Amino acid sequence: MVLVATLVANPSNPVVTPEQVLKVSQAIAVEKIDWLNQGVAVDLHLEHHVSRQAVEEAIREALAGLPIDLVIQPHIGRRKKALLADMDSTMIGQECIDELAAEVGLKDKVAGITARAMNGEIEFEPAVRERVALLAGLDIGIVDEIIEKRITLTPGGKELVATMKANGGYTALVSGGFTVFTSRIGAMIGFDENRANTLIERDGKLTGQVADPILGRQAKIEALHDVARKRGIAETEIMAVGDGANDLGMLELAGAGVALHAKPTVAEKADIRIDHADLTALLYIQGYHEEEFRR
């Protein structure tokens, strides 16, 4: 099996220098160096006989704690044919339910529940119901204002989606959040489809209820199965990205499951973790060069 090690930094802090790459290369057996973006990302094609574990240990020692992400994987099959992405704290920088709660003065309380649910400390579905109940009576029209004034797209997200689509890939936003957000945010980023929970409203106001069934961990797994079946591709040909405990199932099943700036329990279990870079890292680890990016 031919392995490739990809070093990726955040574009705002391009610390993958030629000197650093030389230092890493001297610590391991490298057949070829391929710069994907000078200062930001590089592929190191490894010699056939190397041990993945030994290579990883050597590279991390050479990096000496620099803010550079490392992904080691088989070279063959690294480009994926579909992307499944979580929304909150993944494709955007916020948790939408926390922003809704801010409108009724309960952001701190709801954010605490959200954090525990995302770290797997409490069950996801009951946590959704508990938080939504606190929003009863809120005007649904506030959603547009929240998106306009308080939601920020994670850097690299539009490039990730546009580039994969331009290369024949399919993209799905699969969220444990709500369709009032995913429909708008998914369109802003360019996703082919979006799946999420439905807030029940009456006369323009939230009732404090969410429609069954709640889209949680199992529903994200089923979404991965469904996309693979409908697109006629293997699940190993799918990339999935998320940050919370409800994402772990799809991350474990996907050919490339990426924990992006993830909660501790998620980062520990994921095969691929991106702690420093933005969403363009998901293109670099597929072997895309920066000049191939679509925007």
Catalytic positions, written as ranges: 86, 88
For residues 68 and 16, is the Cβ–Cβ distance under 8 A? yes
Six-digit token pair at 210? Answer: 């969410």
Cis check: omega of the bond before 155, within 30 degrees of 0: no
**Four-residue CA torsion sign, 10, 15, 21, 23:** negative
For residues 261 and 278, is the Cβ–Cβ distance under 8 A? no
- 148-184 as b/e: b if 16+ CB within 10 A: eeebeebebbbbbbbbbbeeebbbbbbbbbbbbbbeb
Pairing, β 41-46 against β 30-37? antiparallel
**Four-residue CA torsion sign, 174, 178, 182, 183:** positive
